[in-house]
């Protein structure tokens, strides 16, 4: 009889997870902490390289180094933000699953990872022009201020997010040695502000659905859907104006089929913007813009079409 009891106890005891399962879980938590899925945002540093077809191999290598430098830098900023927001994230229907908020990774380990990422970013930044290194430091300081103070100030917090993307493009120009037009930089600012406003709008909807009296991001108490809808209209119209001002300038300096292909490329970008606007209002997909841009078939097709027509507009063979 005692043997039977022991055998039942052993059978009922849950099996320990395998080493492979533990490693996979740790890697998954680490990737989520670093926001690896957000790294495509840093591809904006390649924009100046794409806009300068005459750039050589050195500019390409420097742009790749800059890309990974920004990935490590942005990941360290995400860790800072997650540590600062751990308490509020635990009350959020989706953010509560983040590694620090859920307890999967302790703040101490997260800080060590952040220090390692900053060191890697500094090492890569040292390989770039001094001006690019200073801009990367400015990006880090801006995001530290954002994490602890600026994100609590309505409207300013949206400008800070948009400014971070403008810095990415501007650093790319320093690496490539290309002067990007002011209209294009203004387009990047207002388009990224448009995306940020769409994300705030969806966050309010999600937080009210989970708890009508709760607004988990502090700044959301200063917003409502009507105001954010107005901001969406203002930012998307502003981005469209500056984008087409840049396109018209390109068309004026183009001849023959190049002008046609430039116009077709711009129309494809416009379709992409309209599709994202549709996603915000019709499908409520504004909470994760990166996933939307890389998974939505229409958006992918529009982006590839825009890239193809732009390549044709600058190709010497057409």
Residue whose pair of structure tokens reads 């997909």 in the numeric block: 285
Question: Among 8-22, 30-44, 247-261, which stretch is predicted with the lowest mean pLDDT?
Answer: 8-22
- Residue pair 272/303 in contact by the 8 Å Cβ criterion: yes
Residue 163 scores a pLDDT above 90: yes
Provide the phi-psi class of 120: left if phi over 0, else alpha when psi is between -120 and 50, else beta.
alpha
> What's domain 52-179's superfamily in CATH?
UbiA prenyltransferase (1.10.357.140)
Q: Which two tokens stand for residue 59?
A: 């500019």
Residue 255 scores a pLDDT above 80: no
Residue 29 scores a pLDDT above 50: yes
So where are the chain's domains? 52-179, 181-318
Helix (H), strand (E), coil (C) string for the chain: CHHHHHHHHHHHCCCCCCHHHHHHHHHHHHHHHHCHHHHHHHHHHHHHHHCCCCCCHHHHHHHHHHHHHHHHHHHHHHHHHHHHCHHHHCCCCCHHHCHHHHCCCCHHHHHHHHHHHHHHHHHHHCCCCHHHHHHHHHHHHHHHHHHHCHHHCCCHHHHHHHHHHHHHHHHHHHHHCCCCCHHHHHHHHHHHHHHHHHHHHHHHHHHHHHCCCCCCCHHHHHCCHHHHHHHHHHHHHHHHHHHHHHHHHHHHCCCCHHHHHHHHHHHHHHHHHHHHHHHHHCCCCCCCHHHHHHHCHHHHHHHHHHHHHHHHHHCCCC
pLDDT at residue 8 in the model: 47
Q: What is the pLDDT of residues 172-184, one digit of tens each?
A: 888 888 777 889 8
Length of the chain: 318
pLDDT at residue 3 in the model: 52
- Residue pair 165/200 in contact by the 8 Å Cβ criterion: no
Mean pLDDT (whole number) for 137-151 = 89
pLDDT at residue 301 in the model: 93
Residue 218 scores a pLDDT above 50: yes
Q: How confident is the model at residue 70 (pLDDT cuts 50, 70, 90)?
A: very high
Q: How confident is the model at residue 215 (pLDDT cuts 50, 70, 90)?
A: very low
Name the range with the highest mean pLDDT among 12-16, 90-94, 160-164. Answer: 160-164
Q: How confident is the model at residue 89 (pLDDT cuts 50, 70, 90)?
A: confident
| Mean pLDDT estimate for the chain | 84
């Amino acid at each position: 009889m005692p043997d039977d009891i022991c055998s039942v106890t052993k059978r009922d005891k849950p099996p320990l997870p395998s080493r492979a399962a533990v490693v996979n879980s740790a890697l998954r938590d680490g990737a989520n902490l670093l926001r690896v899925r957000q790294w495509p945002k840093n591809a904006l540093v390649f924009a100046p390289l794409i806009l300068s077809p005459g750039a050589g191999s050195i500019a390409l290598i420097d742009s790749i180094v800059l890309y990974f430098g920004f990935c490590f830098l942005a990941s360290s900023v995400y860790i800072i933000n997650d540590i600062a927001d751990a308490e509020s994230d635990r009350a959020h229907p989706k953010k509560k699953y983040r590694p620090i908020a859920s307890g999967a990774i302790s703040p101490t380990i997260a800080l060590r990872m952040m220090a390692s990422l900053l060191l890697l970013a500094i090492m890569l930044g040292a390989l770039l022009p001094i001006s690019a290194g200073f801009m990367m430091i400015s990006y880090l300081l801006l995001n530290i201020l954002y994490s602890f103070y600026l994100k609590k100030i309505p409207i300013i917090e949206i400008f800070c997010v948009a400014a971070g993307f403008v810095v990415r493009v501007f650093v790319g120009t320093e690496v490539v040695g290309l002067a990007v037009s002011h209209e294009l930089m203004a387009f990047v600012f207002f388009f990224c502000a448009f995306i940020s406003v769409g994300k705030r709008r969806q966050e309010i909807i999600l937080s009210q659905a989970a708890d009508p009296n709760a607004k988990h991001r502090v700044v959301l108490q200063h917003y409502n859907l009507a105001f954010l809808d107005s901001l969406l209209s203002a930012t998307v119209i502003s981005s469209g104006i500056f984008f087409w001002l840049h396109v018209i300038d390109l068309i004026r300096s183009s001849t023959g089929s190049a002008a046609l292909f430039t116009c077709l490329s711009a129309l494809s970008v416009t379709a992409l913007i309209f599709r994202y606007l549709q996603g915000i209002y019709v499908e409520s997909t504004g909470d994760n813009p990166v996933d939307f841009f890389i998974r939505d078939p229409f958006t992918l097709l529009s982006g590839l079409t825009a890239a193809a027509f732009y390549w044709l507009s600058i190709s010497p063979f057409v």
